[in-house]
Structure 1
Amino acid sequence: MTETHRSAALFFAVALTFVVTMMGTTLPTPLYPIYQEQLGFSQLVITVIFAAYAVGVIGALIVTGSWSDQIGRRPMLAAGLLFSAASACAFLWGGGLAPLLIGRVLSGISAGIFTGTATVAVVELAPAAWAGSATLIATAANMGGLGLGPLFAGVLSQYLPAPLTLCFIVDLALIALAGMAVVLAPETARRPARPRLRIQSLQVPPEVRGVFVPAAIAGFAGFAVLGLFTAIAPAFMGQILNYSNHALTGAVVFLLFVASTVGQIGQARLPERWRLPVGCVGLIAGIALVALAIIASSLGLLVGGALVAGVGQGVAFRAGMGAVTAASPTERRGEVASTFFVVLYIAISIPVVGIGVVADTIGLRVAGIGFSIAVAVLAAVALASLLTRRRAVA
């Protein structure tokens, strides 16, 4: 193998490592109805299990956000894989609330480490021929892995034995292969002679807040939609639409993440000033379709809502992240970006737990409709803020 072929192979191997790790974070999605049935969990308990993931992500982002610059990409990627493997082992242990909560927190830590480190590693490892597409490949690996998790676990749990364990056994095997890729990959970071491991501060400079606030509100609404589908979609499918096929549930969630990837890629084709507003409009239209799907008990409307909301989420997230980064002082971009991601991951925890509370007290259908209205209002507030700010600047 020539050096060029070897570097290309390692580049794609690390990208696939990114896919495997993010896939592991969403494997439980189609399994939640099985946990409910076998362990007697309420909808609130299911949403709490799901939301524990955000605790791990936020903790990892704050604590280890800048560590890969200090100790290298490979050690951090290896740590992320170890947390991912520990998460799979916790789910294999199973049998109660504690191991599932532990598994989700560990999974969140692995995702928090990989979100920044693997993105940078993929870009830095890209051969010259792929340099222009490296960021796109990293984005596709991230979102593609998140989407593949529910589809993969859904198919295995529906058509093969041991529905609560098989997908995690396969996941451990894939993590072992990913570990080999990390061992073989070269180190791309320039590590200082004396590494300084510090906790990432969370602040937004005053001059950035005018851009940050509408971008964060839109991002919050978009990530809340991701939380809705990855935590509550199985219950909607089974209890409201009367579809109990786990593979079908996984496919619906997969389509949402595919649509998000398309939105993130396609937003570059829009005029810069219209990217975030278009994302907000997409979110409003998509979540309206989701509400109609819940009211009419329609799978077609739910799929349509997933596709439209997914594109809107992807456009809003990528455009918001780009606007916030561009407005931030160079020396504070990491700090502002970390703050932005913390807001986004809060969005996939607290609102989803709120749905669980409402679902257990009033009903799942009412909870879903109320959540849809709240997300649409948030996206509309972000859109209004953007348009008002634009008029003020003009």
Structure 2
Amino acid sequence: MSKPTSPAIFTSTSRMTVYSFLGAVTISACSSAPTPLYHLYQELFHLSPAMITLIFSSYAFALLATLLTLGGLSDYIGRRPLILLALFFNGAALMIFMLAESGAMLMAARIVQGMGTGIAFPTFGAAILDTDKERGPLLNSVTAFLGLMIGTLAAGTLVAFAPEPTRLIYEVLLGVTIAGILMLAFMPETAAGRPGALAAMRPQVSVPRAARSTLLRVTPVNVAGWALGGFYLSLMPTLVAIATGLTSPFVGGSVVATLMLSATASVFIFRTWRPQRVLFTGAVVLIAGVAVTLVGVHLQNVGVLFLGTAIAGLGFGSIFANILRIMLPLAAAHERAGLFSAFLVESYLAFALPAIAAGLAAPALGLSMTAYVYGGGIILLAAISLLATRVSSAQSPATC
């Protein structure tokens, strides 16, 4: 009697794994779809670089606030209700983008999108782990980068070569989102739920004593990595157009997609390495990649820009994937939620605030000069962590 039921159980759980993986990739793709359009939005709505970065950063702030309050709610009320809510938010954001006629409407769309993403990422990630504990961590490591790559590349392609440049990519993604809502009806619930939902919505942000020195050492390179991502997803397409004269959204979107493709590859390249070794290597590669990218800006050479971006992406992805592997084991089980929240606050502030500063500086310095200063800051931060990690490795060789 057990043999006939086993395939059904396997099919049900594997179906949810695939659905959750594709759902997380879709949400990530939606979040990066506006990036290749920012230069076009600047021209259509007469937006300054500062306004573009504020629009971008409003997404990050909304995402962070939602993660801290609703990120763990699916453990208490189930995965499916939160997935449905996230997809509704995502669909609403896409519709606002399609109707947008001003910077204010773009910001509203990004805020709604950030809320949807803040619900979707932890919920889809938990569902993947529920149904595939062996491969779940690896799948969760690549969903964000893979989706960001697909979103920027698809948007850049459609904006450059298809009609309705400010609508078509959102129409396509809205269709995918609606399909996800319909398919959810056929997916199993993977979390039984439990009491305590209201208490779970209170943010807990704390750094255990045992993790403080390590967090201090990795903070500079963590900030550097997230700041790099923030610049690419907000201002990089405009920088490509200004520095190289290639104004096609496809080129700008392709540069950003290269960062995310390289970051995805880094997860597979470094996954068998020890976390401390990966972090050290990632910091070196990040420094080299940013330096080459700045040379590309100076030479006004898009090929060198692509090369530097590909190198930087290896560092960006490896740093992102390994800091939590280093941090979380330092906290006791009851302290990990607070430590994870503290990591999110630091990371998303680094994602948004430097990009806003760059947007504010660009009118005075010029975007190319702003990029030199910004890139120099990233190199300096990565070098600080590189030195701190080297000193720590020398003091505790057994941990490396």
TM-score scaled to structure 1, two decimals? Answer: 0.95
Check whether the contact 1:65–1:338 (CA below 8 A) recurs between aligned residues: no
- When residues 69 and 10 of structure 1 are mapped into structure 2, their CA distance, relative to the original with a 3 A threshold, is closer
For 2:176, the equivalent position in structure 1 comes to 174
Check whether the contact 1:35–1:41 (CA below 8 A) recurs between aligned residues: yes
Check whether the contact 1:218–1:317 (CA below 8 A) recurs between aligned residues: no
**Match 1:199 to one of 196, 202, 208:** 202
Q: What is the distance in 2 between the residues matched to 1:158 and 1:190?
A: 46
Check whether the contact 1:10–1:184 (CA below 8 A) recurs between aligned residues: no
Check whether the contact 2:28–2:148 (CA below 8 A) recurs between aligned residues: yes
Check whether the contact 2:15–2:187 (CA below 8 A) recurs between aligned residues: no
Match of 1:249, as an amino acid? G
For 2:305, the equivalent position in structure 1 comes to 302
**Match 2:253 to one of 250, 254, 260:** 250
For 1:365, the equivalent position in structure 2 comes to 368
Check whether the contact 2:37–2:159 (CA below 8 A) recurs between aligned residues: yes
Matched, 1:227 2:233: no
Check whether the contact 2:129–2:136 (CA below 8 A) recurs between aligned residues: yes
Deviation at 1:191, TM superposition (A): 1.1
Q: What is the distance in 1 between the residues matched to 2:183 and 2:96?
A: 24
For 2:35, the equivalent position in structure 1 comes to 29
Counterpart secondary structure, 1:268: coil
Check whether the contact 1:267–1:318 (CA below 8 A) recurs between aligned residues: no
Deviation at 1:179, TM superposition (A): 1.3
For 1:64, the equivalent position in structure 2 comes to 70
Deviation at 1:12, TM superposition (A): 1.0
Q: What is the distance in 2 between the residues matched to 1:271 and 1:321?
A: 13
For 2:14, the equivalent position in structure 1 comes to 8
For 2:357, the equivalent position in structure 1 comes to 354
Deviation at 1:122, TM superposition (A): 1.2
Match of 2:193, as an amino acid? R
Q: What is the distance in 2 between the residues matched to 1:67 and 1:214?
A: 31
Q: What is the distance in 2 between the residues matched to 1:330 and 1:193?
A: 20
For 1:324, the equivalent position in structure 2 comes to 327
Check whether the contact 1:84–1:110 (CA below 8 A) recurs between aligned residues: yes
Match of 2:33, as an amino acid? L
Q: What is the distance in 2 between the residues matched to 1:217 and 1:184?
A: 45
**Match 1:94 to one of 89, 100, 106:** 100
Q: What is the distance in 1 between the residues matched to 2:335 and 2:192?
A: 20
Check whether the contact 2:276–2:326 (CA below 8 A) recurs between aligned residues: no
Match of 1:155, as an amino acid? T
Unaligned 5+ runs, structure 1: none
- When residues 328 and 5 of structure 1 are mapped into structure 2, their CA distance, relative to the original with a 3 A threshold, is same
- Cα deviation, 1:207-234, whole Å, max 9, x if unaligned, reads 1111112223212111111111111111
Unaligned 5+ runs, structure 2: none
- Cα deviation, 1:283-325, whole Å, max 9, x if unaligned, reads 1111111111111111112111111111101111212110011
Instruction: Give the superposed CA RMSD.
Output: 1.7
Deviation at 1:265, TM superposition (A): 2.7
Q: What is the distance in 2 between the residues matched to 1:198 and 1:154?
A: 37
Deviation at 1:114, TM superposition (A): 2.0
For 1:335, the equivalent position in structure 2 comes to 338
**Match 1:18 to one of 24, 28, 36:** 24
For 2:79, the equivalent position in structure 1 comes to 73
Q: What is the distance in 2 between the residues matched to 1:305 and 1:328?
A: 36
Q: What is the distance in 1 between the residues matched to 2:346 and 2:99?
A: 32
- Cα deviation, 1:38-78, whole Å, max 9, x if unaligned, reads 11111111111111111111111111122111111111111
Deviation at 1:193, TM superposition (A): 4.2
- When residues 314 and 118 of structure 1 are mapped into structure 2, their CA distance, relative to the original with a 3 A threshold, is same
Q: What is the distance in 1 between the residues matched to 2:83 and 2:288?
A: 38
Q: What is the distance in 1 between the residues matched to 2:303 and 2:331?
A: 42
Counterpart secondary structure, 1:282: helix
For 1:283, the equivalent position in structure 2 comes to 286
- When residues 272 and 91 of structure 1 are mapped into structure 2, their CA distance, relative to the original with a 3 A threshold, is closer
Deviation at 1:88, TM superposition (A): 0.7
Q: What is the distance in 2 between the residues matched to 1:246 and 1:83?
A: 27
Q: What is the distance in 1 between the residues matched to 2:203 and 2:17?
A: 28
Counterpart secondary structure, 1:200: coil
Match of 2:271, as an amino acid? A
Check whether the contact 1:65–1:200 (CA below 8 A) recurs between aligned residues: no
**Match 1:274 to one of 261, 277, 283:** 277
For 2:138, the equivalent position in structure 1 comes to 136
Deviation at 1:389, TM superposition (A): 2.6
- Cα deviation, 1:252-287, whole Å, max 9, x if unaligned, reads 211111111121232223234312111111111111
For 1:165, the equivalent position in structure 2 comes to 167
Check whether the contact 2:49–2:363 (CA below 8 A) recurs between aligned residues: yes
Q: What is the distance in 2 between the residues matched to 1:43 and 1:338?
A: 30
For 1:148, the equivalent position in structure 2 comes to 150
Identity of aligned residues (%): 25
Check whether the contact 1:14–1:185 (CA below 8 A) recurs between aligned residues: no
Check whether the contact 1:215–1:324 (CA below 8 A) recurs between aligned residues: no
For 2:379, the equivalent position in structure 1 comes to 376
